Structures are given as C-alpha cells and as structure tokens.
Amino acid sequence: MELRSHLRTTGSALKNWFIATLQDAAAVGAMWLIGLLILRVPLAFVWAIIGGACQFIPNFGPVIAVIGPALSTLFASQSDAMMHLLYVFMLYAIIAVVDGLVLQPYLMKRSNKVPIWASILAPIVLGIVIPFWGVLLAPPLLAVIYAFKRRPLPQPPPP
C-alpha cells in the first residue's frame, strides 16, 4: 500500500511537470512566432513550431531553435541580411532570458508548487555537481521532491 502511494505521488508530480513543460513550449513557440513575424523571417511559422518543440531539450534546444531562423534570414534576399541576423540573435537572447528567469520558474511554481528560487538555483547547482545530467534532471526532480514535501505524513495505525 505504501509503495502504491509513493508511485502515485511521483507520477502525479511528473505529470504536472510535463504539463508545465508543454505550456512552456507553447509560450516559447508563441514568442518565436511573434518575434519572427515582426522581423519578417521566411517560414516563421515553421521555425516557431521547431522553437517550441526544442524546449524539451535542455540547454541545447534553444540553440538548435535559433539555427533555422538565422540561416533563413541569412539566405533571404535582403539587402541588410546581417542586420536582420543580429535582430534574430537579439530575439533569441530575449526569449532565452524571459523563459529561463520568468516563464519556467513561474510555471513550475504554479503547477508543482516549486518555489521560484528553487527552480532557478537547482539547475545551476546540479549542473555544477553533475555537469550535463544535473541540468537535465533538476526540473522533474524538483517536482517530485516538492510533491513529497507537500504530502501529509502517514499516521501510524491505532494500537
């Protein structure tokens, strides 16, 4: 009975984390779409979908997401392609900062009741302790830890 309860708590926390990640991916995709449409980047809708999908790849996903719009901007027949490329990189930087410091911590707090300070600090600390895997595992691990923290303590059976 105890194992089933632990598995249920863990599964619920991971489900909430996944939903928060889906919401984050949709929000980042929307930011990419709006920014790329403003910059008039060719295939903006395709790059926005790829940018949102790349949110599931920690650290490298946002870098992969900027490659398509950057190349599309470079090869577009514009007289000031280099200036547009700079604007695409500025858009990438804005999205990365907003997502990393505002959006992800807010969604983790709302869906999993993880404090904002923990969702910013844990990937940094775990990234130092376990260089690649720490950053990858920090968000779902935080969701599970805080799910167990919120759970009421089991009462001993009456004598």
Q: Domain residues of the chain, as ranges?
A: 13-150
Which residues have CB under 8 Å from 69's CB, separation 6+? 32, 36, 41, 44, 47, 51, 88, 91
Q: Is the pLDDT of residue 77 over 70?
A: no
pLDDT the model gives residue 110: 85
Buried b / exposed e along 71-83 (16+ C-beta atoms within 10 A):
ebbeeeeeeeeee
∠ CA 66-55-118, rounded to 5°:
120
pLDDT the model gives residue 98: 93
Q: Packing angle between helix 133-150 and helix 104-112, nearest 10 degrees?
A: 30
Q: How many CB atoms lie within 10 A of CB 68?
A: 20
pTM of the model: 0.80
Q: pLDDT (tens digit, 9 = 90+) per residue, 25-46?
A: 999 999 999 999 999 998 999 9
